Amino acid sequence: MTNKRRFTVGATALAVLALMFALTGCGSAAKTDSTGQSTSSTGTTPPVTKLQITDTKVGTGAEVKAGDNVTVNYTGWLYVDGKKTTAFDSSTDPSFNHVEPATFQVGVGQLIKGWDQGIVGMKVGGTRTLIVPPSLGYGVQGQSPTIPGNATLYFEVTLIDIPKLQIADTKVGAGAAVKSGDTITVNYTGWLYVDGKKTTKFDSSIDPAFKHVKPFQTEIGAGKVIVGWDQGLVGMKVGGTRTLIIPPSLAYGVQGQPPSIPANATLYFEITLVSIP
């Protein structure tokens, strides 16, 4: 595989990006008044000014904390005069072109504040509605073309999982530590991880069988590699070796990376940090 394909962001991450930066899909434009503002501010219902959280189903699994990765299904609507109206994005509706659960990290500023605040405390298996005021959504600017300025948003969110990245330093380096945004050079080998054991080797920068025997360079925290790498290599020191066990939702998800990485594969990496150029 080429460097571009080796650790590119998969379809799961694309769904997350849709939520992070657009929260839009292929639906029709939102209903606005003649000034381009949401009609939620012109009706008889008082405007929403605070985040409203309702658990329609309380889960029985682990509880979300700030900093956790979460995997969810969701649908978002505009909220006008006390009612949800136009759907603008969804992980379950085929018309929005990304029908698979979304995975993201809570409480670190990746998402709108209404999500960062509103998902904390959910339990796996639960469903929660969030009514998000403009100040915790997209504010006066909105998100053209589907979210107008000053729009109140309504979400239904089901928490599927809190995937855990497993990190172990087999050798602690003595050099500089990786920060998000750093460009790093590493050597690595990756295996599929099945029933608690590493099994089939699928890629390596040091094994001649993979025809690219040279260190691999990438930027951390910029979405150029899978989420498990973006999160799992931060703090590693030059000269050190680290193992990462990465759940599917932080790797290649339900799509996999044919032909060597099947759908829903857990991955095991051994990574040596050569330098931070």
Q: Which of 7, 68, 79, 89 is catalytic?
A: 89
112 is catalytic: yes
List all residues 6 or more positions away from 93 whose beta carbon is below 8 Å from its beta carbon.
25, 75, 87, 99
216 is catalytic: no
In angstroms, the Cα distances linking 35 to 39, 122, 146, 243 are: 10, 37, 15, 55
Burial class (CB in 10 A: 0-12, 13-18, 19+), 175: middle
In the chain, the amino acid numbered 193 is Y
Query: What is the rounded distance in angstroms from the CA atom of residue 39 to the CA atom of residue 34?
Result: 9
Q: Which of 7, 68, 74, 193 is catalytic?
A: 74
CB distance 139 to 114 below 8 Å: no
Query: What is the rounded distance in angstroms from the CA atom of residue 72 to the CA atom of residue 119?
Result: 10
CB distance 256 to 222 below 8 Å: no
Q: Which of 68, 79, 104, 112 is catalytic?
A: 112
Both tokens of 25, joined, read 């899909």
CB distance 70 to 83 below 8 Å: no
Query: What is the rounded distance in angstroms from the CA atom of residue 35 to the CA atom of residue 235?
Result: 49
Q: Which of 138, 193, 216, 268 is catalytic?
A: 138
268 is catalytic: no
154 is catalytic: no
Q: Which of 7, 79, 88, 104 is catalytic?
A: 88
CB distance 84 to 78 below 8 Å: yes
74 is catalytic: yes
Residue with tokens 């594969």: 265
Both tokens of 233, joined, read 């290599």
138 is catalytic: yes
Q: Which of 7, 154, 155, 202 is catalytic?
A: 155
Q: Provide the annotated active-site residues.
A: 74, 88-89, 112, 138, 155
